[in-house]
Amino acid sequence: MDLGQIGIWRIHRHGTDAVPEIEALGFRTLWLGGSPSVADARPFLERSTGLTVATGILNVWRHEPADVAAERAELAREFPGRFVLGIGVGHPEATSEYRKPLAAMRGFFDGLDAADEPVPRDDRVAAALGPKMLELAAERSLGAHPYFTPVEHTRLARERVGPDRLLAPEVAVVLEPDAEVAREKARAYAATYLGAQNYVNNLLRLGYGERDLADGGSDRLIDDVIPHGSPAEVANVVRTHLDAGADHVCIQPVGNGPLPLDDYRALAKELL
């Protein structure tokens, strides 16, 4: 399965209208955010001809692994080589069932393996931030899909997953030349994640301080996690993730509405 180096990350509830353009521009993979189910991926596969579609991510608290494996097998038969099952535990603020995330992920992997039609290791990826989850992703799946992380995390994640596992970080970007306007848009997007303990803990591990996390995020943190500027400037930051060890970067343009076709076009021109 060839994901290409650059993909698009997009909330699945925003619909399929952008799919033909994304594929025509040359992006190889579309990541569906917003805790999609396997069934939610079907319209995106049907709307495209060769695009790989990945769940980024299916929330393990909301699904049974046997059901997920069966639904994934059906998609694999209908759209061979075009669907990647991304799974993850999300963050504790999002679900009342949250408990021992590492054990929950191991258990879900066990369920996928024990299903009547198991999900092959190389057809699934895992959301991972901390060292132990990164190691589990490398052990039990194609690799890791980190979210809301700076380049330094990509560097450290590569060390954890090893040289042969997929590393596919999401990178939110703001295509806006005015730095203050761009940071305002970035902070509006970042608010959810700066209120989520797993993302906060990850940033603290990376050396950011409490002041960086306060008041919507310091300029330093916002600039590191959500690069902004001209298409060329943003593309340069995306390339630093590749240089730091990413195999594939899932770009999520934010701040310009739910259908940022101009952003997709500008990024494709710089990166594809």
What are the tens digits of pLDDT across the range 27-46? 999 999 999 999 999 999 99
Confidence (pLDDT) at 98: 61
Confidence (pLDDT) at 99: 73
Residue 137 has φ and ψ, to the nearest 5°, of -60, -40
Average pLDDT across the chain, whole number = 96
Structural domains in the chain, sorted by start: 6-271 (3.20.20.30)
Residue 251: how many CB atoms within 10 A of its CB? 25
Distance CA 14, CA 271 (A): 24
pLDDT at 96 over 80: no
Amino acid at 20: P
Residue 42 has φ and ψ, to the nearest 5°, of -55, -50
Distance CA 43, CA 248 (A): 23
Between the CA of residue 34 and those of 1, 29, 50, 141, 143, what are the distances in Å?
A: 23, 16, 23, 21, 20
* Residue partners of 142: CB distance under 8 A and separation at least 6: 84, 121, 122, 123, 124, 125, 165, 166
Instruction: Report the share of the chain in percent with pLDDT over 70.
Output: 97
pLDDT at 93 over 80: no
Confidence (pLDDT) at 2: 86
Q: How far apart are the first and last CA of the chain?
A: 18
Distance CA 213, CA 202 (A): 11
Mean pLDDT, residues 23-27 taken together: 98
Joined tokens for residue 240: 């630093």
Confidence (pLDDT) at 94: 61
DSSP per residue over 214-245, as a string?
A: STT--HHHHHHHS-EESHHHHHHHHHHHHHTT
Between the CA of residue 156 and those of 135, 217, 226, 239, 256, what are the distances in Å?
A: 12, 22, 18, 16, 31
Confidence (pLDDT) at 95: 62
Confidence (pLDDT) at 1: 76
Mean pLDDT, residues 82-103 taken together: 81
Give the pLDDT band of residue 92 (cuts 50, 70, 90).
low
Confidence (pLDDT) at 120: 98
3-state secondary structure of 11: strand
What are the tens digits of pLDDT across the range 209-260? 999 999 999 999 999 999 999 999 999 999 999 999 999 999 999 999 999 9
Mean pLDDT, residues 113-122 taken together: 98
Identify the CA nearest to 49 among candidates 30, 71, 73: 30
